[in-house]
Amino acid sequence: MKLKKDFLWGGAVAANQVEGAFEVGGKGLSVADVMTYKANVNVKDYKRNVQVTSEDIAAAIADHTTTDYPKRRGIDQYHHFKEDIALFKELGFKVYRFSIAWTRIFPTGEEMSPNRAGIAYYQEFIKELKANDIEPLVTLSHYEMPLELALKYNGWQDKRVIDLFVKFAKVCFENFSEVKYWLTFNEIDSVTRHPFISAGIIEDQTARLEEAEYQALHNQFVASAIVTKLVHEIIPNSQVGCMLTKLTTYPATAAPGDVLAALNKNIMNYYCADVQVKGAYPKLILSYFKQHDIKLKTTSEELQTIKENTVDFISFSYYMSLLAAQKEDGLTMTVGNTVAGGKNPYLKTTDWGWTVDPVGLRISLIELYDRYQKPLFIVENGMGAKDILESDGTIHDSYRIEYFEQHLSEMKKAVEAGVELLGYTSWAPIDLISASTSQMSKRYGFIYVDQDDEGNGTLKRYKKDSFKWYQHVIKTNGEEL
Ligand code: BG6
């Protein structure tokens, strides 16, 4: 079985990691704009990368520079988008995944009417994509909610944020009606891993953190269901996906206790998709809430909305896999995508300690399709690495080609096994600021951007060796890897 003729090949980014121009066109501050650069990838400290205190926020608000806040400068795609889209066209992209910064449309989240300059920017952007035959795939929320809503409501744990988000989404649907594919919340399950970035929850202002996280998730489920209904009404033939961080976990050994530990991790990883695809909370999660004294504020009307407005497809990110064991102290630990877990001795790791597990992608696709029986979309997969720009402007990234070649080969095998897959967008087609560490030196792209961790550089774009390789993959619809 081959990939479908209209298979959506492309790349994925988020506004806060590429756009820059953080105070241009009336944009307000988002939670991403207060994240500082962290060079550290130490397994013991991995959580520190994504933690933000009230003190950090106050210092960031007083500082209007981009020096310590790389997401404020991104790769300046705001001013380079025509050039970047031309490169994506050259790659043969059928689709480009990006997010709409809420703070460009509603700078604090609470304005009565939207910011026209923000709308105009994205209209131009989408027009340019369309003119180049590239389908937009838009994420409404990708770690960049208005900072004001974090400060005023302590983020998504407050139900008033639901209406504010719905107002934002409605403006997007009405003004960007050419967009057919929408994702509501990027890696929605990440609220329990980094509550500030994903849900605007400031930990030191929160008494019962775990309860607040699950409440925020519930409020996001409700918001997601409401806007799913809305977009179906406003844009005919539109399709909405949930977006899950696929954290594939294997048992460290065949010991039943280890198998159980892995099973429990995977169940917790699946729970958000369960709610958004099946329209109801899984019973095991309700038991977990009881056992952990987590009391959610829900109404029957909200639960009905969730039930009636499930997603059309399931999108997910996949980067690595980890091991779980009954006794974790026996494991050699390593980091993954804002998680830590046991290191699999059969797998190599990237410079940042993430395991490279192509078969894990096939396993993930089969598991997800078997569980949900709905079309899947891989909207993030890629490798962060240190690249070297040679004096002649070339970048020889054979390691990246190898990574993609292996993952795409496993993806094809899953499709051969019967998995229905809409498309594949690599993370990320162009170098950008890392979500977790705000490093520029953690490079993902087929396109190199001349900028270092301190923000020095010309921002000139260069094609890496992998550019030509991915171009050929798309041209042959994945037949030749
Ligand atoms: C995903 C996020 O979790 O992983 C992206 O959706 C992020 O925003 C990507 O960039 C890679 O993570 P990092 O920390 O290497 O940028």
335 or 196: whose pLDDT is higher? 196
The reported pLDDT for the residue numbered 308 is 98
Interatomic CA distance for residues 306 and 304, integer angstroms: 5
For atom 12 of ligand 1, which residue has the closest CA?
435
The answer to whether residue 388 is domain-embedded is: yes
**Half-sphere exposure for 15 (CA within 13 Å, toward CB):** 29
DSSP code, position 3? P
The answer to whether residue 14 is domain-embedded is: yes
Q: pLDDT tier at 258 (50, 70, 90 boundaries)?
A: very high
For atom 10 of ligand 1, which residue has the closest CA?
435
The answer to whether residue 292 is domain-embedded is: no
Interatomic CA distance for residues 147 and 411, integer angstroms: 38
Predicted confidence (pLDDT) per residue in 400-437, tens digit: 999 999 999 999 999 999 999 999 999 999 999 999 99
Interatomic CA distance for residues 245 and 252, integer angstroms: 21
Type of residue numbered 481: L
Q: Across-strand partners of 245?
A: 317
The answer to whether residue 446 is domain-embedded is: yes
DSSP string for 353-415: S-B--HHHHHHHHHHHHHHH-S-EEEEE----B-----TTS----HHHHHHHHHHHHHHHHHH
The answer to whether residue 206 is domain-embedded is: yes
Mean pLDDT of 338-353: 93
The reported pLDDT for the residue numbered 424 is 98
The reported pLDDT for the residue numbered 273 is 98
For atom 5 of ligand 1, which residue has the closest CA?
435
Strand, coil or helix: 304: helix
CB within 8 Å of 320: residues ≥ 6 apart: 248, 336, 337, 354, 355, 356, 357, 360
What positions carry a catalytic annotation? Answer: 187, 380
The reported pLDDT for the residue numbered 41 is 62
Strand, coil or helix: 114: coil
User: How many domains does one find in the chain?
Assistant: 1
Could you tell me the distance, in angstroms and rounded to a whole number, from the CA of residue 158 to the centre of ligand 1? Answer: 26
Q: What is the CATH number of the domain that holds 12?
A: 3.20.20.80
Match 């520190």 to its residue by tokens: 48
How many angstroms separate the first and last alpha carbons of the chain?
16
Match 């594919």 to its residue by tokens: 181
The reported pLDDT for the residue numbered 387 is 98
Pick the atom of ligand 1 nearest to 434's CA.
16
Predicted confidence (pLDDT) per residue in 313-339, tens digit: 999 999 999 999 999 888 999 888 888
Other beta carbons within 10 Å of 367 = 16
Mean pLDDT of 352-366: 96
Would residue 280 be called left, alpha or beta, if left means φ above 0 and alpha means ψ between -120 and 50 degrees?
beta
Predicted confidence (pLDDT) per residue in 19-45, tens digit: 999 999 999 999 999 999 988 666 667
Residue 154 has pLDDT above 90, yes or no: yes
Query: What global pTM score does this model have?
Result: 0.97
Interatomic CA distance for residues 353 and 115, integer angstroms: 41
CB within 8 Å of 283: residues ≥ 6 apart: none
Could you tell me the distance, in angstroms and rounded to a whole number, from the CA of residue 255 to the centre of ligand 1? Answer: 33
The reported pLDDT for the residue numbered 330 is 86
Percentage of the residues of the chain whose pLDDT score is greater than 90: 94
For atom 16 of ligand 1, which residue has the closest CA?
434
Type of residue numbered 306: I
Determine the distance from the C-alpha atom of residue 329 to the mean position of all C-alpha atoms in its chain, rounded to a whole number.
30
DSSP string for 20-54: --TTGGGPPPBGGGGPPP-----GGGGGGGG---H
The answer to whether residue 279 is domain-embedded is: no
Mean pLDDT of 181-199: 97
The answer to whether residue 141 is domain-embedded is: yes
The reported pLDDT for the residue numbered 328 is 87
Residue 204 has pLDDT above 70, yes or no: yes
Backbone angles phi, psi at 95, to 5 degrees: -145, 150
Q: pLDDT tier at 255 (50, 70, 90 boundaries)?
A: very high
Q: pLDDT tier at 1 (50, 70, 90 boundaries)?
A: confident
Domain range enclosing 352: 8-269+312-475
Residue closest to 97 by CA, chosen among 33, 175, 186: 186
Mean pLDDT of 82-110: 98
Could you tell me the distance, in angstroms and rounded to a whole number, from the CA of residue 413 to the centre of ligand 1? Answer: 25
The reported pLDDT for the residue numbered 338 is 87
CB 36 within 8 A of CB 438: yes
Pocket around ligand 1 at a 6 A CB cut-off:
14, 17, 186-187, 245, 317, 337, 380, 384, 427, 434-436, 442
